[in-house]
Amino acid sequence: MKRIIFFILITFISCNKEKLQDTDGASNKSLLKAQDFRDNGNTDSAYVYYTKAKDDLLKIHDSIEAARAITNLAIIECDNGDYRTSIANSIEVEKLLQNKHDSISELIASKNYNSIAIASKNLKNFDDAIHYYNLALSLAKTKIDSLAFYNNIGDTYVEQYDLESAKAYFQRAIKTHDQKDYARALNNLAKTKFLENNNYDPMPELSEAWKIRIQENDHTGINSSLATIADYYIKKDEKSKALFYAQEMYKIAQKNKSPDDRLEALHKLIRLNPENYSENFNTYTLLRDSLETTRNNSKNRFAIIRSKTEQLKNIITEKQNRILRQSVILGALVIAIIILALILGWFRKKQKIQQQKSELDLKNSQLAMSKKVHDVVANGVYQILTEIENQEEMDKNRILYKLESVYEKSRDISYENLSSNNQEDFRDKVSQLLSSFQNENRKIFIVGNEEKIWNHLSDSKQEEIYHVLQELMVNMKKHSLADLVVIRFENSKNSTHIYYSDNGIGIQEKLNPKNGLRNTENRIHSMKGTIIFDLETEKGLKINISLPHS
């Protein structure tokens, strides 16, 4: 039964554990797949897997990694012109990262703020854009990142035509050691200076920025330089030069497959090249409509992905609820089986304990009887034999009296009516007991055996002490070969002390008391006392006994 219960529990727990591990593994795999697709330029697949990763990570309450997934969703949406949805996702990221200040959270938050700023700028919400650029700037971990954000802020101020503020930020951004960022800041600063002062000549700086971008193979930056230079010559009314740079811009945009740059270049060509006006205008219109359609399709495509993901999530939730209901039923069944097994086990254990108790009571009763026989009969008879052996003249009546006393006590054992004490003075009993082991070859010295020594101990304790002393003397007679024994009694404030010593052979090996000394230890412990065997002496044996008063 126990094996069956154990098997059911292990199976039940393992199934649930496997489901948790699958969920956690799926979230990590989805995030990694999304990152791979993003790095390879497969935006749609990246979007699908970031969406799945977000749901899985939120399910296991991994708010930091969920924020990473949602931030990437927002960036993809922003890149595809779905600015409002991008901002909505970024706000969700803000909530997830609230009150989190570790380095990973701050890095994700910085990218998220930058995404909000870009989306806000494209929606012409310039104040919001500057606000979020500054938040991103406050979390930037490197000087290069900070200087890049200065460039973004300056660009936004240009859009508001706050040229003084824009120039201040570009002057900070130009301090970067990154060549691409330096070229961007230099281009923007020269443009701003010219907008601020029409007499200013920005061409040395614009040309330098353009050359750096060519060296760095920065196609996006090259188009930005060409657009800025073309605008400068348009304002200076040098149409031939402006047309040249606009045409160069269009070529690069076609090569880069950048529709936004192509639109901007065509817009300039329509203005600068009347001869090809119709062709450029038609191309511009087709491209603009195509780009708008593509972006709308992207928005719809992402909306469809979100909708399908939500539907799939609902299906999964329903399936999980069904599994949960089945698990609850299975769990209830398992619990019922366990309770039934525990009840049966409890009854069996109770019966076994009762049986063991009965057997233990019988055994204890037998041991108690054996102990009493040993203490009263065996040691009593041995004491009489020792007395007969040690006395030259035997008092027949005294011996008979003692034998009769032993007989009476042995008979009382069978009726559990052994007297714990008799009318004889306990001091005299002790004296007679100890003296009976003395002969011409063995001297017994008794010190402190006075009536006041025993006044603090109950009759039952006195009876136990009598048997302890009897055990010690019998053990000495049988094993020690001692010819000198000293037993001293004394009282302290709360205890009675018995000090035994002899000059015999002692205990030769590691302390391993025989039955007699073991009985002595048990008696002392039953009276809450202590017994110490001193084995450090060169010869003989010392035993110290302490008993609390009662």
- Determine the Cα–Cα distance for residues 487 and 498; give it in Å rounded to an integer: 7
Question: What does the alpha-carbon distance between residue 271 and residue 231 come to, in Å, rounded to a whole number?
Answer: 11
Q: Give me the phi and psi of 453, to 5 degrees please.
A: -60, -40
What is the token pair recorded at 64?
Answer: 């930091």
Over residues 293-311, the mean pLDDT reads 63
Looking at the DSSP assignment, which residues form a beta bridge with residue 281?
none
For the chain, the average pLDDT equals 81
Instruction: Lowest mean pLDDT of 1-5, 176-180, 424-428, name the range.
Output: 1-5
pLDDT at 123 over 60: yes
Average pLDDT over residues 86-111: 90
Q: What is the mean pLDDT of residues 276-291?
A: 79
What's the confidence (pLDDT) of residue 298? 59
Ranking 74-83, 197-206, 401-410 by mean pLDDT, the lowest is 401-410
3-class DSSP state for residue 417? coil
Whole-number pLDDT of residue 191:
92
Strand partners, 497: 490, 546
Which pLDDT score, from 0 to 100, does residue 287 have? Answer: 75
Check: pTM over 0.85? Answer yes or no: no
User: Does residue 362 have a pLDDT over 60?
Assistant: no
Which range, of 258-272, 281-295, 373-387, averages the lowest pLDDT?
Answer: 373-387
84-88, 311-315, 326-330: least confident range: 311-315
Residue 535: strand, helix, or coil:
coil
Instruction: Of 108-112, 244-248, 339-343, 487-491, give the range with the top mean pLDDT.
Output: 487-491
Q: What is the arithmetic mean of pLDDT over 268-280?
A: 83
What is the rounded CA–CA span in Å between residue 133 and residue 398? Answer: 117
What is the spatial distance between Cα 212 and Cα 222, in angstroms, rounded to a whole number? 9
Burial of 357 (0-12, 13-18, 19+ CB in 10 A): exposed
Strand partners, 499: 488, 544
In the predicted structure, residue 370 carries a pLDDT above the cut 80: no
Section 415-430 average pLDDT: 63
First-residue to last-residue Cα distance in the chain: 53
Mean pLDDT of 165-177: 91
pLDDT band, residue 96 (cuts 50/70/90)? very high
For residue 444, report the phi and psi dihedrals to the nearest 5 degrees: -115, 115
Give me the amino acid identity at 464. E
E strand intervals along 8-150: none
pLDDT value, residue 419? 45
Residues 227 and 347: their CA atoms lie apart, in Å, by: 92
390 exposure class (CB count in 10 Å sphere: 0-12, 13-18, 19+): middle
pLDDT at residue 211, rounded to an integer: 95
* The pLDDT of residue 180 is above 80: yes
pLDDT score of 93 more than 90:
yes
Give the residue, 182 or 265, on which the prediction is more confident.
182
Q: What gap in Å lies between CA 423 and CA 546, rounded to an integer?
A: 26
Question: Which stretch of 105-114, 169-178, 473-482, 531-540 has the lowest confidence by average pLDDT?
Answer: 531-540
